[in-house]
Structure 1
Amino acid sequence: MEEFLFFVLVGFIAQLSDGALGMGFGVISSSMLLAQGTPPALVSATVNAAKIPNGSVAAFSHHLNGNIDWRLARKLAIFGAIGGVVGALLLSNLKGRFLHLMIGIYLVLIGALIIRRALRGITPRKLKGRALNLVGGAGGLIEGIGGSWGPIVAPALLGGGVLPRKAIGSSAFGEFIVSIAVVCVLTATFFGGLWGDKSDIAGAVAPIAGLIVGGIPAAFIGGYLARRVPKKPLSVAIGILAFSIGVQRLVIAF
């Protein structure tokens, strides 16, 4: 019961951050699970399983608040799902120090860029075409490996000139679709015996339930906050969060 209540609190805080700033759910919840000694494959499965109900509510909330660019969201979903399937299949091979280092450097650089542009009022050229496909694919790959779509996609969209609330809302819809793809692959690999002997699926029940119970109400609130917060403070907040997560990943790497 204590574990369930703990993850209810984690789910609420993580989903509120994710809904309002476009990132945070995967990073916060996976960090808590890894700290408990949960195997990486089970961490990814747990986080993505919780993201399906939470993500559906978040996407609906962002839709109601006019935060989704559907052309953008569809591209992110398609290429993100492809990347997510690859990431889930390669999970055991790609998890480790190099991955943390790579993601950390990316987030520190993109976070600093977003903050600089927001404070100086610089409007960058908007992402489109192959660059957008690459963002979705990269986000899906990292989502499949460790459940961290938001820190890759939302800062990239914002850094590429997408309006902050549209970046957050479109990313939320893409993340929902990608999570479904990742969970399907991880479920298949689990029943195929590819997780090894250390993974206990029963141990994920309380964390998943807690993340969902805490996350759903926060998902409703997040869409409203993304619409109401002014562009400049929202951009700075996303930049700071991306930069902070990047520093955390670099600390883990070293």
Structure 2
Amino acid sequence: MWTVPSLGTIIYLILGGIVAGILSSAASFASLASYPLLLSVGVAPVYANVTNDAALIWNSLGAVLASLKELHGHWHQVLKYAIFTVIGSVIGCCLLLAFPGKVFERVVPFFILIAGAMILISGKHTPHPGRKRPLWQKSLYLLALVLTGIYAGYFGAASGIVVLVLLTYLMEQNFLVTNAVKNAVCGFTNLVALIIYGFASRIYWLDALPMAVGMFVGGYLGPIVVRYIPAKMVRWIIAILAVTQALIYFKQAYF
């Protein structure tokens, strides 16, 4: 039974939000900390997913503010790619509100494992700025962004990784720039989901707000941390976190 959070719970949510914010902006893995964090204070699973979106907005804002250097000259790409993930997010939100069943949760662990493998494979890709991809190939990547947006709107765990991988091939930029654009694109995606859920579902604001404070701080720290860690190491950290989260969700879904 959910109750008004105590001072201790508020501090717990702020600290947990900082960890989740760093994981999100640096490694695309906020849900590894934020979703279980909300469950641990008594928020029901479906509402935890919705409330998590409310806090993630502030994580994205912190990450964007810390990445203005990397985002300089790339805002047109942020807006262009965000259109596709936002379209998908709207569809995903509608699916969640209409079919909040258990079947989808059984697929999530395998999706996360695939996402973890994708981030390692994309690390072998050498960026070629200015490279023009065939129209069919670019269209395929953009369609994949829409599908990822659908998943993000419905559940979201590890969706940031897939967006990061797709942008790696679409943008042909170094990891720092691609990660910064990913944070901004995911911010727009979460914002649209929040607007929909704000009207059509229930958000536990008293839990979301302290976690949002922590996520803003963590979101700001994440891009700064990434600047001092080799991209290859970051990719391996993401892959390890993917396996960890996949095992957690596999246990929840099948045992």
Which band: TM-score by shorter chain? 0.7 to 0.9
In structure 2, the partner of 1:196 is none
Task: Say whether 1:250 aligns with 2:250.
Answer: yes
In structure 2, the partner of 1:14 is 20
Q: Aligned runs of 1:18-33 on 2, under 5 Å?
A: 18-21=24-27, 23-33=28-38
**Structure 2 stretches lacking a partner, 5+ long:** 1-6
Task: Say whether 1:150 aligns with 2:156.
Answer: no
Change (3 A) 1:244 1:138: farther
For normalisation by structure 2, the TM-score amounts to: 0.79
**Structure 1 stretches lacking a partner, 5+ long:** 191-198
Distance in 2, matches of 1:212 and 1:73, equals 23
Asked if 2 retains the 8 angstrom alpha-carbon contact of 1:81 and 1:137, the reply is: yes
In structure 1, the partner of 2:182 is 171
In structure 2, the partner of 1:184 is 195
Shift of 1:79: 1.1
Distance in 1, matches of 2:182 and 2:150, equals 14
Distance in 1, matches of 2:96 and 2:151, equals 9
Q: What residue identity is the alignment partner of 2:83?
A: I
Distance in 1, matches of 2:79 and 2:139, equals 14
Shift of 1:14: 0.5
- Residues 62-110 of structure 1 deviation map (CA, whole Å, 9 limit, x = unaligned): 2234598545433331111111111111114454443233232232134
Q: Aligned runs of 1:207-218 on 2, under 5 Å?
A: 207-218=207-218
User: What is the CA RMSD across the aligned residues, in angstroms?
Assistant: 3.0
Task: Say whether 1:4 aligns with 2:10.
Answer: yes
Q: Aligned runs of 1:42-81 on 2, under 5 Å?
A: 42-66=47-71, 69-70=74-75, 72-81=77-86
Q: What residue identity is the alignment partner of 1:63?
A: L
Count of aligned positions: 240
Distance in 2, matches of 1:94 and 1:162, equals 38
Task: Say whether 1:139 aligns with 2:110.
Answer: no
Distance in 1, matches of 2:109 and 2:117, equals 12
For normalisation by structure 1, the TM-score amounts to: 0.79
